């Protein structure tokens, strides 16, 4: 079952359960997916849907920090709840050991030797690890490996 179908089914379940906060978060996600499909005039695959979920999650995390700084804990809690709903659609995150193994394999594959080869290495790692690992963490580990 595709991720988009799973999200739609979850929306129907939330409607039947009259779970308004969960329904709102899922509807925002589906609206973002549909907007991307309309803009690009194509059907999105699971990888593109995961990219949208990651983008929305990042936006919510930024909002939580801003709301907390402004003393609006009620809004921060609502955003945190949306993050938990969106996290259900992301694949399981890789551990630092798995990321290090992927970096080592990519280094062996490309023959990268120094910091100048970081772009080449990231170009190979990004499609492999997208959605499975935090790319900022991957970037830190690549810098450490090439230093």
Report the alpha-carbon distance of residue 54 to residue 121 in Å, rounded.
Answer: 22
Domains 3-87 and 96-146 in one fold: no
Closest by alpha carbon to 8, among 37, 36, 39, 31? 31
Report the alpha-carbon distance of residue 134 to residue 36 in Å, rounded.
Answer: 22
Residue 68 pLDDT: 95
Residue 35 pLDDT: 97
Residue 73 pLDDT: 95
Q: What is the pTM of this model?
A: 0.77
The percentage of residues in the chain with a pLDDT greater than 70, rounded to a whole number, is 100
- In CATH terms, 3-87 corresponds, of 3.40.140.10, 1.10.1240.10, 1.10.1510.10, 3.40.630.40, to 1.10.1510.10
Q: Where are the domains of the chain?
A: 3-87, 96-146
Residue 16 pLDDT: 97
pLDDT at residue 95 is higher than 80 = yes
Q: Which CATH class is domain 96-146?
A: mainly alpha
Tens of pLDDT, residues 1-51 = 799 999 999 999 999 999 999 999 999 999 999 999 999 999 999 888 998
pLDDT at residue 82 is higher than 90 = yes
Report the alpha-carbon distance of residue 22 to residue 81 in Å, rounded.
Answer: 8
């Amino acid at each position: 079952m595709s991720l988009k179908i799973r999200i739609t089914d979850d929306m129907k379940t939330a409607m039947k359960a009259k779970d308004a906060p969960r329904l709102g978060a899922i509807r925002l996600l589906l609206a973002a997916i549909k907007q991307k499909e309309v803009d690009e005039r194509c059907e999105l695959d699971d990888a593109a849907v995961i990219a949208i979920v990651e983008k929305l999650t990042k936006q919510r995390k930024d909002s939580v920090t801003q709301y907390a700084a402004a003393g609006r804990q009620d809004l921060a809690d609502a955003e945190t709840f949306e993050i938990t709903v969106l996290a259900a659609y992301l694949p399981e995150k890789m551990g630092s050991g798995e990321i290090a193994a992927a970096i080592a394999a990519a280094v062996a594959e490309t023959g990268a030797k120094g910091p100048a080869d970081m772009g080449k290495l990231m170009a190979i790692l990004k499609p492999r690890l997208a959605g499975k690992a935090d790319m900022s963490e991957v970037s830190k580990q690549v810098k450490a490996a090439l230093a």
